[in-house]
Amino acid sequence: MKFALLLSTALLAFPTMAAAEEAAGDDTNTILVIGKSVGYAATDSVTATKTDTPLIDVPQTISVVTRQQLDDQAQHSIADVLRYIPGTTVGQGEGNRDQITIRGQNSTSDFFLDGVRDDVQYYRSLYNIERVEILKGPYALIFGRGGGGGIINRVQKAPSNERFFASAGGSVNSFGAWDASADVNLPVSAGGALRVNGFYENLANHRDHFDGERYAINPYLAFDLGGGWKAGLSYEYVKDDRVTDRGIPSLACTQPCTPGPLPGHRDTFFGVPGVNRTGLEAHIVKARLDGQLTDNLNWSSTVLYGDYDKYYTNVYANGGATAPSGTVALAGYIDPTKRENFIAQTNLVWDVALGAIENKILLGLEYGEQDSTNQRRNAVLSSSTLNLANIVYPTVTFPAVNRDTASKVKFFSAYAQDQIGIGEHVDLVVGLRFDRFDIKGTDFAVTPDRPFARVDEKVSPRIGLIFKPRENISAYASYSQSFLPRSGDQFLTMTTTQENLAPEKFTNYEIGAKWDIHPGLSATVALFQLDRTNATTPDPLNPATTINAGETRTRGIELALTGRLTDKWQMSGGYTYQDAKLRGNDFVRLGQVPEHQFALWNRYDFNRFVGAGIGVIHQSSQFAANRTTASVTRLPGFTRVDAALFFNASEKVQFQVNVENLLDTTYFADAHNNNNISTGAPLNARLSARIKF
């Protein structure tokens, strides 16, 4: 009944396929280069090599989700995107942030915006995004520290000076969540344009006591200055306020066994209503200048300033449930963080031929300063357990500071890369990056105050060999490295022991092949091995502490097919097998790395008015944390089916309904540790509509 009522009152919209392809990020329609795509298929990337390079000539695995696919699947978050990207898993992020695992490497910071670091812990929206790029394997040459398993890059919608266009839309789902958005592009001169994106989202889901809202606005001004010079200035304001939800605990074992999620409590809230909350306010300014110095020499610079004010309060299950109607231990804390980021990068790209050898030489510099303050106050609860037979939530206070740190990071990078064309059939990509990472901070929670500091200087190489027997087919082999300083993803604290440990190192070996079957349809296959040395990990039995994990290894194979099979049928699909473990000890398996992942999304247009979509996600079982003991929780495997229906009422008005979890499967999508497990949503529908002007 609720579904029928929502369907009958829907107002929404998304572009027709033809309209979406017309504006799907083709560089000829925007002042600043952002990459080309046709429907679901991207043809090149500006960020993978920091040069405008066809994907077939990049010697590593890249998955690109275009704006049309984001719209067709009604995706609103990074988590929505990654559900359909095999080889990646979404972490719970303690209910307050994006957290990902790529090729066995878990991260809260490997996120970028137009190739510039965006590492603050928050939920990223897609309202102003043209495409999402998932680059797999270490990418230190291009992106610097971190990125051990890969990175997520969001490409921002850019202004176009060709014409005025605008769209407005909204959606509502069967949980009661709704959103509204607008996208307006206005030429302001012969060479300039202003593009403004904005949205508001009221949050709701299947979980008890969950609510929230977020909104943002992003004006973006760009000018073609003539003579090959272009400039852009973007400002984004983001506000997010929502319930912090860390899911359900596991069911404690009464005999030697592998724990699993607590049954019968899919919707039960294991926090405290009115206390569990997270909020973010962010101001992000990005300036960009591109110039053509000579016919074969181009220069570009980007500067990003971000001011982020975030907090989250968590009360959560701190142990397994004794029984489905038994008790669960609780704990909690409040954690406010403020950060200012200033990052500047500049690049020279020189196209030069030395005899028969063509070179595309990249020379770049990057400098950044990141200032952070963070506190943590542990909770004092009126009751340290929750009785599932008669739930009465405790009262909570946060009387004392348990962590109080301030840190300042300065980093400098210099890098060089050469994309070498040797005849018609062989390309070579070689490069080196030097990084200097300097952290200084103070721990104010001890007496006397304890300063901490460390400087790391690392060189990260990359080499890739590409053989192209035909223009549309490539086979490649690559080697790359990356590193992570001992201050970790967020560099908020550093123990005395950590100060004396070398950075973690990631080494990736990959061979693969790419085939552009025809324009708009591409296939890829890759075999990879990623080794992590000097590794540490959160203790699955006490996540607040870390333990040495030694050397880990992830081996796997990845297959993908994306694009248009016929003039009416588009698809995006892939399969990944991963074997992720501690080297020399097969018992120790890496957390949140299912061995098998499969995802397939199809859209078929019956005629110019009606289309349909169907999607399948399959994920085999995975451990909630690194399995170092038999008591680590295993999340069962699952298969989820999604569907969609598209209706074009006219060239300017479109309607869409997406149904998630069509078969109402019970599943557990992700986790943070043994006893913070997210429950998958039951069958639900989202109705959407958009009008174009």
Our count of domains for the chain comes to 1
Q: Is the dihedral of CA 262, 263, 264, 265 positive or negative?
A: positive
Mean pLDDT, the chain cut into blocks of 10 residues (693 residues total): 35 33 48 84 90 94 96 96 93 94 93 94 96 91 89 95 95 97 95 97 97 98 94 98 96 79 95 96 97 95 97 94 93 96 97 93 97 96 95 95 95 97 95 96 94 94 96 96 89 82 92 95 97 71 57 96 96 97 90 96 97 98 90 94 97 97 96 94 97 94
CATH code for position 536: 2.40.170.20
Q: Is residue 37 part of a domain?
A: yes
Task: State phi, psi for 62 to the nearest 5 degrees.
Answer: -135, 130
CA 12, CA 3: separation in Å to the nearest integer?
A: 15
pLDDT in tens, 131-182: 999 999 888 889 999 878 999 999 999 999 999 999 999 999 999 999 999 9
By C-alpha distance, which of 403, 334, 335, 339 is closest to 373? 339
The neighbouring-strand residues paired with 419 are: 360, 429
Written as six digits, the tokens of 486 are 């001992």
Does any domain span residue 290? yes
The answer to whether residue 418 sits within a structural domain is yes
User: CA angle 87-89-92, nearest 5°?
Assistant: 170
- DSSP calls for 458-493: EEEEEEEEEEEEETTEEEEEEEEEEEE-TTTTT---
List Cβ neighbours of 390 (8 Å cut-off, separation of 6 or more): none
Q: What's the rounded Cα separation, in Å, for the pair 232 and 160?
A: 11
Is 102 within the bounds of a domain? yes
Q: Element (H or E) spanning 21, and its range?
A: helix 17-22
At 195 the pLDDT is: 98
* Rounded Cα–Cα distance for residues 645 and 7 (Å): 12
Q: What is the reported pLDDT for 246? A: 96
Q: Within a domain: residue 559?
A: no
Angstrom distance (rounded) from CA 658 to CA 12: 11
Two tokens, residue 144: 């610097």
Geometric angle at alpha carbon 240, from 238 and 244, rounded to 5°? 150
User: pLDDT at position 491, please?
Assistant: 87
pLDDT of residue 536: 63
Q: How far is CA 46 from the centre of its chain?
A: 18
Is the preceding omega at residue 461 within 30 degrees of 0, hence cis?
no
In a domain, 31, yes or no: yes
Q: Is residue 72 domain-resident?
A: yes
Strands (E), 355-447: 357-378, 380-381, 385-387, 396-397, 403-422, 426-443
**Tell me, what's the pLDDT at 38?**
87
Residue 261 lies in a domain: no
How many residues make up the chain in this entry?
A: 693
Give the domain extent around 28.
2-251+269-545+568-692
